[in-house]
Amino acid sequence: MTSWQTLSRRSLGVTAVKSAGIAAPAGVVVARVASGLDWPVEGVVAACAAAAVLVVAGALVLDVLWLRATRWRLTGERLELRSGILHRKHRSVPRERIRSVDLKADPVLRLFGLAAVKVGTGEHASGEHDELTLDPLARQDAEKLRRTLLSLAGGQPPEGSLAELDWAWLRYAPLTVWTVAGGALVAGAAYKPLDALGLNPVKNGLADALWEWITERPWQAVPLLLGLNVLVGLVGAVAVFAEYWGRYRLEREPGRLRLTRGLLTTRSLTLAERRLRGVELVEGLLLRLGGGARVKAVATGLRKKDDEDVDDVSALTPPMPRELAVEVAERICGAPLPALRPRPAAARARRLRRAPAEIAVVAAVAAALDLLWLPSWIWLVAALDVPFSLGYALAEYRALAHGLGERHLVTRYGVAARRTVALDRDGVIGWTVTQSPFQRRLGLITVTATTAAGAGHYDVVDVGAEEGLELAARAVPGLLGPFLTTR
Amino acid sequence: MTALRPPRHRPDPRAVWWWTLQWLVFAAVLAVVAGALWVLLDPWWPAAAGGALTALVLVAAVVAPRAQYRFQRWEVTDQAVYTRKGWLWHTWRVAPMSRVQTVDTEQGPLQRAFGLANVKVTTASAQGAVMIEALDHGLAAELADKLTAITHATPGDAT
């Protein structure tokens, strides 16, 4: 494979279909303008057809030029790409630096048996030549190129499947805030396009009629609207889950994880284990109540770049049963996760003492609002805040836990989303220990492991001073130890 | 009982005057604001609040730098950089030599007046650099050279 090759010619078919998709709205716009001009019907149809043909033909001409200008080749040392119709570009990536080969195919590409291949070096710091896209190649060529570049022996099965989609997990799909936001979100998103089509619900009186109906029969209207809202949210959440996680599969290949997913638009993503520094178990509040969890990767160089590329490689699993998520996390880590220890009672006391201060602030705000203009029921909100603040303080305390495994430092925190982070002990690149005056009185400290991966630092908040220091000293032998004394 | 021992070295004694000057600049800005409130606003209490705040900052200008000087320490071993700072909110930081990416010295305009400099030790973490603050600038340059030499001699990929 050392000669220069072209991209797949079937790309023209894809372009034709996609540009026809764009041409349809163009035809509608022409039709609206033409109907205002009082033209005969045949004239309008002809104008629409002409507009559509123009769009498609233009796109096809551009694509032909693009295909003729684009050549790629794979030599023993490098993968090279020449492209550009007017502004010629020559990009070249050394093969030994290639860390990821990602495949992506939307429904149209799949219809023509094609896929786009994105080759990355995983070195985002090195600037512009860190990735290269071949869009599109024939599906089997793309798969072959992936195997060649990642030096996998042809046809050899991957080392092992870590997880595969079970459609029963669809029951976890609605357990997000988006379900509750559901219909309102869709209505908000639909407003702009409807307005563009001249169907503004505020202007044409639909909104007024709706408001009138709500104020006349609140006892029927409000529950009905809320129910509709949740129903839309449910359908949306299930649809998004199905499209995002359909055909989901997580496999381990030598030196990397391979993630394939997507019902309509299929994706195949790779994450080099060299970049992996641990895993994170995420349980959103609703998901946790439903007994589910997701697994995310804690890896270096995953920070979002400023392009349209939203493929989130760090999301390793869909929401799945918690036990299974733990099992997947342990298999990715290659070590069992340790049992977690709770924080000392002082940490709970600190949170409970902070609650009255929060309540006082809310009460003060309520008093101010009461004085200004709001009716006295604002005090009800302030009163409800008391159990909420205390409950939150306790929940926050219960979420806090830590542990030390044979290879990982584990810290758990968070109420809205409970996160259990298992950080590879080799991935710790420093310690920060902090103590506020309040913590000092209670004998607590906050130990922070700094790392190059994920959030950059992971905290063990409000741990007993002695326990926290010993945890850090044992997690990375020889780093904090020399600076400890026993008094 | 296990505890963190203090790092071996103190900042340069001139640091106290550098910090004091910073507080005084802050107090001066507040005083100007309070004065402006006095002239521009009819009610007397905004200006009085500004004045009270200025007085508080003046007290801090005397107390804080001395307390800070007593607590702030640093130490460099062949394995790690170790610092301690903050007189109310204590912070200890450790960065191993094998993970150090760059070592720089910095000097602000006020520091130059006192002949002081900071040594900034950067690792690959988003947590930010470990700063050894307010050293004699000759010592800072020497220390930066020494740190650079040690990090070059220590194997590690810094991530």
Task: Provide ipTM, 2 decimals.
Answer: 0.90
pLDDT of residue A191: 75
Quick one: A234 and A346 in the same domain?
no
CATH number at residue A430: 2.30.29
Buried b (16+ CB within 10 A) or exposed e, B139-159: ebeebbeebeebbeeeeeeeb
pLDDT band, residue A411 (cuts 50/70/90): very high
pLDDT of residue A42: 80
Phi, psi torsion values for B109, nearest 5 degrees: -60, -40
| Direct distance between the N- and C-terminal alpha carbons of chain A, in angstroms, rounded to an integer | 69
Task: Report yes or no: A94 at the B interface, CB cutoff 8 Å.
Answer: no
Query: Can you tell me the distance from the alpha carbon of A52 to that of A49, in angstroms, rounded to the nearest whole number?
Result: 5
How many angstroms away from the CA of B90 is the closest CA of chain A?
5
pLDDT of residue A199: 67
Quick one: B44 and B81 in the same domain?
no
- For the cut 90, the answer to whether the pLDDT of residue A227 exceeds it is no
Quick one: A182 and A48 in the same domain?
no
**Are the Cβ atoms of B125 and A485 closer than 8 angstroms?**
no
User: Residue A470 in contact with residue A445, Cβ under 8 Å?
Assistant: no
Quick one: B85 and B144 in the same domain?
yes
Quick one: B129 and B57 in the same domain?
no
Quick one: B49 and B110 in the same domain?
no
- For the cut 70, the answer to whether the pLDDT of residue A306 exceeds it is no
Quick one: A32 and A81 in the same domain?
yes
- How many structural domains does chain A have? 3
Listed residues A194, A220, A244: the one ending a domain: A244
Task: Name the nearest CA neighbour of A287 among A177, A392, A185.
Answer: A177
Which of A450, A466, A483 lies at the smallest CB-CB distance from B1?
A: A466
Quick one: A19 and A127 in the same domain?
yes
CATH number at residue B99: 2.30.29.30
How many angstroms away from the CA of B69 is the closest CA of chain A?
18
pLDDT band, residue A384 (cuts 50/70/90): confident
Query: Can you tell me the distance from the alpha carbon of A289 to that of B41, in angstroms, rounded to the nearest whole number?
Result: 56
**Are the Cβ atoms of B90 and A434 closer than 8 angstroms?**
yes
- For the cut 80, the answer to whether the pLDDT of residue A54 exceeds it is yes
Q: Which of A423, A425, A450, A451 to mutate to test the interface with B (most CBs of B within 10 A)?
A: A450
Which of B88, B127, B158 lies at the smallest CB-CB distance from A432?
A: B127
- For the cut 60, the answer to whether the pLDDT of residue A126 exceeds it is no
In single-letter form, the type of residue at position A324 comes to: L
What is the rounded average pLDDT of the residues A319-341?
93
Quick one: A235 and A354 in the same domain?
no
State whether residue B22 is helix, strand or coil.
helix
Q: For residue B3, is it within any domain?
A: no
Task: Report yes or no: A35 at the B interface, CB cutoff 8 Å.
Answer: no
Q: For residue B33, is it within any domain?
A: yes
**Are the Cβ atoms of A484 and B91 closer than 8 angstroms?**
no
User: Would you state the structure tokens that stand for residue A43, as one six-digit string?
Assistant: 């004239």
Which residue would you say has higher pLDDT here, A92 or A189?
A92
- How many structural domains does chain B have? 2
Contacting residues for A334 by C-beta, under 8 A, at least 6 apart: A407
User: Residue A150 in contact with residue A98, Cβ under 8 Å?
Assistant: yes
Q: Provide the domain limits for residue A378.
A: 341-483
What DSSP line would sit under A383-418, residue for residue?
Answer: HHHHHHHHHHHHHHHHH-EEEE-SSEEEEEE-SSEE
Task: Report yes or no: A463 at the B interface, CB cutoff 8 Å.
Answer: no
**Are the Cβ atoms of A487 and B90 closer than 8 angstroms?**
no
pLDDT of residue A158: 56
- A220-225 — which CB contacts under 8 Å span 24+ positions? A225/A183
Top mean-pLDDT range of A92-96, A270-274, A327-331: A327-331
Task: Name the nearest CA neighbour of A260 among A272, A252, A248, A246.
Answer: A248
Query: Can you tell me the distance from the alpha carbon of A98 to that of A104, in angstroms, rounded to the nearest whole number?
Result: 17
Quick one: B61 and B101 in the same domain?
no
User: Would you state the structure tokens that stand for residue A364, as one six-digit string?
Assistant: 């003060």
User: Would you state the structure tokens that stand for residue A87, as one six-digit string?
Assistant: 């502004």
In single-letter form, the type of residue at position A169 comes to: W
Query: Can you tell me the distance from the alpha carbon of B30 to that of A224, in angstroms, rounded to the nearest whole number?
Result: 57
What is the rounded average pLDDT of the residues A307-315?
62
Q: What pLDDT, in 10s, does the model give residues A358-382?
A: 888 888 887 777 777 666 677 777 7
Which of A455, A482, A487 lies at the smallest CB-CB distance from B1?
A: A487
Quick one: B40 and B106 in the same domain?
no
Quick one: A382 and A453 in the same domain?
yes
The residue written with tokens 């006192």 in the block is: B114
Q: What pLDDT, in 10s, does the model give residues A31-43?
A: 777 777 777 778 8
Quick one: A134 and A201 in the same domain?
no
Q: In chain A, pLDDT over 70 holds for what percent of residues?
A: 91
Element (H, E) at A485: strand A484-486
pLDDT of residue A422: 96
- For the cut 80, the answer to whether the pLDDT of residue B109 exceeds it is yes
Which chain B residues are closer than 8 Å to A484 by Cβ? 2-5
Task: Report yes or no: A483 at the B interface, CB cutoff 8 Å.
Answer: yes
Q: For residue A119, is it within any domain?
A: yes
Quick one: B92 and B57 in the same domain?
no
| Per-chain mean pLDDT for chain A | 86
User: Would you state the structure tokens that stand for residue B44, as one six-digit string?
Assistant: 């007397």
- For the cut 80, the answer to whether the pLDDT of residue A453 exceeds it is yes
Specify the range with the lowest mean pLDDT, choosing from A137-151, A399-413, A424-438, B59-73: A137-151
Which residue would you say has higher pLDDT here, A202 or A453?
A453
**Are the Cβ atoms of A450 and B77 closer than 8 angstroms?**
no
Task: Name the nearest CA neighbour of A112 among A8, A261, A22.
Answer: A8
Quick one: B119 and B139 in the same domain?
yes
Quick one: A109 and A225 in the same domain?
no
Specify the range with the lowest mean pLDDT, choosing from A78-87, A195-204, A461-470, B2-11: A195-204
Listed residues B52, B69, B86: the one ending a domain: B69
Query: Can you tell me the distance from the alpha carbon of B71 to that of A435, in angstroms, rounded to the nearest whole number?
Result: 13
- For the cut 80, the answer to whether the pLDDT of residue B154 exceeds it is no
How many angstroms away from the CA of B125 is the closest CA of chain A?
4
pLDDT of residue B1: 79
Q: How many other β-carbons are positioned within 10 Å of the β-carbon of residue A371?
A: 8
Count the alpha carbons within 13 Å of A105 in the hemisphere toward its beta carbon.
24
- For the cut 60, the answer to whether the pLDDT of residue A316 exceeds it is yes
Task: Name the nearest CA neighbour of B11 among B100, B113, B131, B109.
Answer: B131
The residue written with tokens 């050899």 in the block is: A156
- For the cut 50, the answer to whether the pLDDT of residue A268 exceeds it is yes
Q: Which of B90, B121, B125 to mutate to test the interface with A (most CBs of A within 10 A)?
A: B125
Q: For residue B48, is it within any domain?
A: yes
pLDDT band, residue A307 (cuts 50/70/90): very low
Q: What pLDDT, in 10s, does the model give residues B120-134?
A: 998 887 777 899 999
Which residue would you say has higher pLDDT here, B64 or A372?
B64
Quick one: B89 and B63 in the same domain?
no
Which of B4, B79, B124 lies at the smallest CB-CB distance from A429?
A: B124
Query: Can you tell me the distance from the alpha carbon of A183 to that of A190, in angstroms, rounded to the nearest whole number?
Result: 10
Quick one: B22 and B78 in the same domain?
no
Q: For residue A255, is it within any domain?
A: no
Query: Can you tell me the distance from the alpha carbon of A93 to that of A131, in angstroms, rounded to the nearest whole number?
Result: 8
Cis preceding-peptide flag for A94 (omega within 30 of 0):
no
What DSSP line would sit under A143-179, residue for residue?
Answer: HHHHHHHTTPPTTPPPSEEEEE--GGGGGGTT-SHHH
Which of A430, A455, A486 lies at the smallest CB-CB distance from B123?
A: A430
User: Residue A47 in contact with residue A57, Cβ under 8 Å?
Assistant: no
User: Residue A447 in contact with residue A469, Cβ under 8 Å?
Assistant: yes
Which chain B residues are closer than 8 Å to A485 by Cβ? 2-5
Q: In chain A, pLDDT over 90 holds for what percent of residues?
A: 47
Q: For residue A299, is it within any domain?
A: no
Q: In chain B, pLDDT over 70 holds for what percent of residues?
A: 97
Query: Can you tell me the distance from the alpha carbon of B107 to that of B8, in angstroms, rounded to the nearest whole number?
Result: 23
User: Residue B119 in contact with residue B132, Cβ under 8 Å?
Assistant: yes
Query: Can you tell me the distance from the alpha carbon of A168 to that of A320, in angstroms, rounded to the nearest whole number?
Result: 9
In this structure, the dihedral spanned by the alpha carbons of residues A235, A237, A239 and A240, taken in order and rounded to 10 degrees, is 160
Listed residues A244, A261, A278: the one ending a domain: A244
Quick one: B104 and B39 in the same domain?
no
Q: For residue A470, is it within any domain?
A: yes
Q: What pLDDT, in 10s, does the model give residues B18-41?
A: 999 999 999 999 999 999 988 888
**Are the Cβ atoms of B95 and A430 closer than 8 angstroms?**
yes
State whether residue A196 is helix, strand or coil.
helix
Q: Provide the domain limits for residue B25.
A: 14-69
Quick one: B89 and B123 in the same domain?
yes
pLDDT band, residue A472 (cuts 50/70/90): very high
pLDDT band, residue A223 (cuts 50/70/90): confident
Which residue would you say has higher pLDDT here, A151 or A61?
A61
What is the rounded average pLDDT of the residues B53-58?
95
- For the cut 80, the answer to whether the pLDDT of residue A27 exceeds it is no
| Per-chain mean pLDDT for chain B | 90
pLDDT band, residue A308 (cuts 50/70/90): very low
Contacting residues for B31 by C-beta, under 8 A, at least 6 apart: B50, B51, B54
